Amino acid sequence: MQLVHEGYLVGTTRGFTLPTLTATDVANIFEVRRLLEPRAAAHAARTLDAVGLKTLAAALQEAEAAAVAGDADSFFQANSAFRNCWLGAVENDRLSQTIARFADHVLVVRLKTLSHQPTQAVIVAGMRAIYDAFVKRDAVAAYDRMTHFIQNAEERFMKLSPPLQQFNDEAVSIPRQGKS
């Protein structure tokens, strides 16, 4: 019942199912991301060590190569490695746990955008900008670049999801992903 209470499952007459996101759900997800992730990136800019920076550099190179090759699966894996690495450097447990709570919601956005090759170039540019801020240990730049990255993600998601624009608060066929 806790999964129902937290919004991960919806009760039906035949059991449980994953909920469907509405336009309002998507807008709320991006609002939460804009509130939390830039602050977390600023934390990571201060705490990433040499091993973390090396891991980020490798993930960024893999993402760049995958984008050039049009390899959506490798791009997704590289992007996930990049995200998981910097999030792992956030020492504020409550902040990182709150972001982790929305991981399934963020996955919906990532599945929609990461497989779109023109969007991959935008994502790589954003990853590069964030990485550069991390290397410089510039918390303000990391905050600003993450804010811009999330804004671009929202714009690309909305562009790739016309039903969300047309049906306002009606449910659309973008199922929320459960935790894996």
Q: What is the CATH number of the domain that holds 137?
A: 1.20.120.530
DSSP structural state of residue 167: S
* Contact by Cβ (8 Å): 71, 77: no
For residue 22, tell me if it sits in a domain.
yes
CA distance 147 to 151: 6
For residue 51, tell me if it sits in a domain.
yes
Tell me what the mean pLDDT of segment 72-78 comes to. Answer: 95
Note the pLDDT tens digit of each residue in 20-61.
Answer: 777 888 888 899 999 999 999 999 999 999 999 999 999 999
Cβ neighbours around 142 below 10 Å, total: 28
Block residue for tokens 């509130």: 35
The number of domains in the chain is: 1
Backbone angles phi, psi at 85, to 5 degrees: -65, -50
CA distance 49 to 53: 6
Note the pLDDT tens digit of each residue in 153-162.
Answer: 999 988 887 6
Per-residue pLDDT at 172: 45
For residue 82, tell me if it sits in a domain.
yes
Which structural domain range is residue 16 located in? 2-175
Tell me what the mean pLDDT of segment 12-23 comes to. Answer: 75
Note the pLDDT tens digit of each residue in 81-117.
Answer: 999 999 999 999 999 999 988 777 777 777 778 888 8
Note the pLDDT tens digit of each residue in 111-142.
Answer: 778 888 899 999 999 999 999 999 999 999 99
For residue 121, tell me if it sits in a domain.
yes
Q: What is the pTM of this model?
A: 0.81
For residue 127, tell me if it sits in a domain.
yes
For residue 11, tell me if it sits in a domain.
yes
Q: What are the residue ranges of helices labelled H in 70-138? A: 72-88, 93-101, 103-113, 117-135
Angle ∠(147,152,154) on CA atoms, nearest 5: 95
Per-residue pLDDT at 84: 95
For residue 180, tell me if it sits in a domain.
no
Per-residue pLDDT at 21: 73
For residue 10, tell me if it sits in a domain.
yes
Nearest to 31 by CA among 176, 154, 130, 120: 154
DSSP structural state of residue 180: -
